[in-house]
Structure 1
């Protein structure tokens, strides 16, 4: 298993506007520059050895990726890593090698939740791309401290880079490289793409290649890993594995909805945590309501409040916050983020909720305005202040 370069690039269906073409050209040009900071091979070897000593040995592909990204001197470099390919372990070792060589590492991600996960993985300061770009656009004189400290010895790791639009990546890379630092773009070019114009990862890959992780570490069964990669590549034969393993179920919508709910209920009764998935918000709402009715088991809660998606929450429910609010501090370094999952521990007469994070176990009060319903049942991806929506608790995957 090795990290390998690839030069395949699918064609584009239409001609992009001039501003986008210029942004793509700048990003690709930076990928061809090799005058950046280089870490010594000795520092890389120490980091790889330390990772193994910590119980996280790297396979050949991960080690090759870390070595190349640390020692290449590339100003911008791309790594393609499907989910489950060991990206987190590789990035942790890369950060360790870079800091051991006297540099500093900053992590950026498209979402606050992804930035938090990245920070925990690489033990470095992380934040959202949007935070940096907002300051560049509106308050460049008061950049965050981590942004002001970016310099020649800095490495900026952009996680889930495939979800970032090209114009945002361009502005980020221009800022970082102008200060002498280097950028490592890490993502999957077949992942859900950016809302804005994207596709620049394919351009970088076609022009200067990319490092690849192709051995999936997540699956105990190698055949399942192979099927997952084949499914990612859109190969019809990948379905054979899932059919043989009885992972595919056929039926009408009503029957399948009942089956999903029954499976969730069985998992709950057996103490399992899982998640139900549905194709529409209306069906998600229906499943949520059925799950809450089952949980209450005929009991009437003392107090309940309406949420942003039109559902209702009371103590014992699980809710999902749907926007970031740095003013709602959970700890000294953490805040309420889009996608955070919470258990409701109390509903106050004001309509505020006290909630406990399902992972960190830290609690915070969500004000009444945070939980107020909107005029539409569709919950927006971004809103100020952030709003809570109810999510099916502990459901089946």
Structure 2
């Protein structure tokens, strides 16, 4: 594994960093003020012009769809940046320093995973109708998987029904934590549900593309994470009530939902980890600056031994997480997602836990300020804590890692492969 970035990646790093310095960081205050103004005007779920005005600038700068890997770019007919996972990692880290920044570059979840899914598994008709406008940033999307009635960490539990009726499928189900569904620009759902409850356990589930304006879709409410509702993006509770969808919208065919989930969630997991490293880096930077500017008991907070220990430990944890992320990305590039499954599972455990700890230490150094929105730390912590659940909880990934490790000495290998899919 090569530890230095190529001249191409170094150039992109400089360009993304320059864009962040010139356009994103100076607009953090404007973002908050616009969201507050929209709330007071009863338009909390309206797209924020602070972000929308930056998107054409990112396009013009050649910093658009940087996430799109080479294989998906070819499949979509859209070149994008044509980067490998390893090449994209340092760019996602820079974007991750501001929670909303990745949307400016059309590199935000769940759209990135949905675009890759449509590029790899969608028909030409689906690509033309949904993938192209997503790649252009004209619409947004959602991924409807998690359900409130079952433990969705075991995806075989998912009970939404996708039933064939003539030349259509009818979708009935109750979902929640569906990110992006509250956004008025959300025009399509990739939805997971059972097509055949009698089939073998891992062949019961399928995925289907559901237009957001289909009759029978009902948004119940936006959910919040530690008080943050992530407007206008949102995470909603919703119902599919006798939603009729053309049969051609099924992806790959019935019973292949788990196969698609693995193809979709591997890159999604590692993208989250890349961005979390950026969040942790910013938290460490804020911690250092704050500790140097505050005095307590005759010394700066930075001179307190406990602060120095935490700064040192944070530096170690961030760098270790980055190296593991880069290894996972490299493995995905050279051997594929399936071979890299252990590394993906490991970083999915390590990065959110690391980010939560580093952000927590930074909040502690900030005192009361760390608990309010005068600094980006409280929001960053809520986001990082969520990612210990998203794309599979820590426990599922740890179990899979342990079983793969034990499998070197005997049984468990096949069990682990199924487990990480269930935790998708």
TM-score by length of 1: 0.24
